Amino acid sequence: MAATSPFDCVLLDLDDTLYPGDTGIGAALRRNIDEFLQAKLGVSADEAAATRAELFRAHGSSLAGLIALGYDVHPDEYHSYVHGRLPYDRIARDPQLARLLQSIPQRKVVRIFRTEQMEASCSPTRTARTWSGRWSGWAWTRPPSTPSCASRP
């Protein structure tokens, strides 16, 4: 661990953070959310897109908004549909990213929603060995299941 850093570990969110934004995964994610909202709420494609944007604006995510508004949505159901169908095979190998992550002396914990997401996206980028932990969480308020990452005094 670097003596000059006040942090014990680095927390990273996988989506649109550890791969380029031009993979098409973001567009596929929005499409999956819209399809989920259409099926769950019985709305048109245009209404689903508007609802997704409003839920994100007001609640930080579509899932958080659905739960806050009292919809009967289980996080596993949502993430299975929304994240489980993403084209992670579009992520190219990235040895430079792997080297960069390996150069960070602190523990690295990646936030994912599904184990398959980690396997599909981190293995191709050759970053899988850089992680000391992961937490699969559907809300930022959920603490990681790995030992706490905190600022050192």
Domain match, 47 and 60 both: yes
Q: Rounded to whole angstroms, how far apart are CA atoms 148 and 63?
A: 25
Strands ordered across the beta sheet of 9-13: 9-13, 107-112, 133-136
For residue 136, give the H/E element and its range.
Answer: strand 133-136
Q: Supply the pLDDT for residue 6.
A: 86
Assign 70 a pLDDT band (cuts: 50, 70, 90): very high
* Backbone phi, psi, residue 55, to 5°: -60, -40
Q: Which of the 8 DSSP states describes residue 129?
A: G
In a domain, 4, yes or no: no
When divided into structural domains, the chain yields a total of 2
Find the domain containing 36 and state its range. Answer: 25-82
pTM of the model: 0.69
At position 47, the amino acid (one-letter code) is: E
Question: Looking up tokens 């550890």, which residue turns up?
Answer: 18
